[in-house]
Amino acid sequence: MVDNHNRTINYLRLAVTDRCNLRCNYCMPSEGINFAENSKLFTIDELSRLSQLLVSQGITKIRITGGEPFVRKDLMVLLRHLSEMQGLDDISVTTNATLIGPYIDELKTLGITNINVSMDAITKATFEKITRRNQYDTVHANILRLITEGFNVRINCIALEGQNTDDIIPMLALAKHFNVCVRFLEEMPFNGGSKKFEKITWNYKQILAHIAEVYPDYYPLASPKSSTSMNYKIPGFEGTFGVIPSFSRTFCGACNRLRISATGDVITCLYAKASANLLTILRTDDAEENIKIAILKAIGNRAKTGFEAQHENKDVFSNSMTSIGG
């Protein structure tokens, strides 16, 4: 699939739920958001059908996200289907690592070893303040287990002014001792109205300057063209680190992604409005043909950059990342 700016689209981020067992304060208010009724979420069977359709259209990588994917008790049924799908080269999961423990062995058996874990602080009190839940010990233990069992783990940490920036250097200790990539992201305006969002102080340049004060010798690593992260190595470290300019949006030119939200919306950019609802289409006649048409239409009308998309989407600041899938 090729979009209207001549970019090949082969990467799907598929949100399997909008529910989450954490309440990260930059993502949603403490009381949560208006979560979708169960009937408005795809069944696992529908998610398998949808994935198959998209793979037949040219998707080669699917990242499972949410909400928290593992709050769905039947998630492994989907992952088993995906692991057998011809043409799907890469299945990845983004998780908060609170509930993944019982599934680690089977994930490894299925060959699903690319796991992104969101962890916004290495200090327990800071972590629990941001997430508004006391899950630090579980998350920390699961991360170490994933790393030692040989998973390809990336840790995503949002730089939040006044909350966790003192943890940026200590977080890097993980990359010092383990073969893991610690990535620092800019905060984005998708917090479900939990706080006013105007601008960010901690952009990728500020994060890099802060790291350079302690580790001036870090050097850049080559990254794939469609990568959203700029990656670096500190001499002597086992792992690597990266920054993701998710608000500065320097990477849009090479974007190869399509998103499907937990309620079936097709989103061609984090900052864009949904262009169709696939759940509605999937539950009507001629579903497969009409889904393919809707996907091609969405891909043929993509904004060139996140700034262009934001310009056309006046409600952008009221959404929550738990609905969009990160």
The residue within the footprint of ligand SAM, chosen from 158, 180, 278, 281 (CB under 6 A), is: 158
Which residues have CB under 8 Å from 266's CB, separation 6+?
258, 259, 260, 274, 275, 276, 277, 278, 294, 295, 298
Assess 229 for contact with ligand SAM (CB under 6 A): no
Stretch that binds ligand SAM, among 38-46, 282-290, 306-314, 318-326 (CB under 6 A): 318-326
Considering the complex, what minimum distance in angstroms separates the CB of residue 13 from ligand SAM? 9
Of the candidate residues 79, 188, 266, 281, the single one contacting ligand SAM (CB under 6 A): 188
The minimum distance between CB 303 and ligand SAM, in angstroms, equals 19
Residue in this structure with the two tokens 């969002």, named with its chain if needed: 197
How far, CA to CA in Å, does 270 sit from each of 38, 51, 86, 165, 247? Answer: 24, 20, 28, 24, 10
Mapping DSSP onto H, E and C, the string for 308-320 reads HHHHCCCCHHHCE
Q: CB 263 → ligand SAM: shortest distance, Å?
A: 14
Judge whether 128 and 100 are in contact, CB under 8 Å: no
Beta-sheet pairing, 276-277 with 265-267:
antiparallel
Q: Which of 68, 231, 242, 306 binds ligand SAM (CB under 6 A)?
A: 68
Q: Which two tokens stand for residue 87?
A: 């043409």
Q: Which of 11, 14, 18, 26 binds ligand SAM (CB under 6 A)?
A: 26
CA-based radius of gyration for the chain:
19
Contact 181, 114 (CB under 8 A): no
Contact set for ligand SAM, span 82-111 (CB under 6 A):
94-96
Sign of CA dihedral 149, 119, 257, 104: positive
Q: Which of 92, 164, 228, 322 contacts ligand SAM by CB under 6 A? A: 322
Extract the tokens encoding 124. 């327990």
Provide, rounded to whole angstroms, the least separation between the CB of residue 156 and ligand SAM. Answer: 4
Rank residues 96 and 263 by Cβ distance to ligand SAM and give the closer one: 96
Which segment (183-191, 210-218, 227-235, 303-311) binds ligand SAM by CB under 6 A? 183-191
Interaction with ligand SAM in 232-271: which residues (CB under 6 A)? 246
- Which parts of this chain interact with ligand SAM (CB under 6 A)? 20, 26-27, 65-66, 68, 94-96, 118, 156, 158, 185, 187-188, 190-191, 246, 321-322, 326
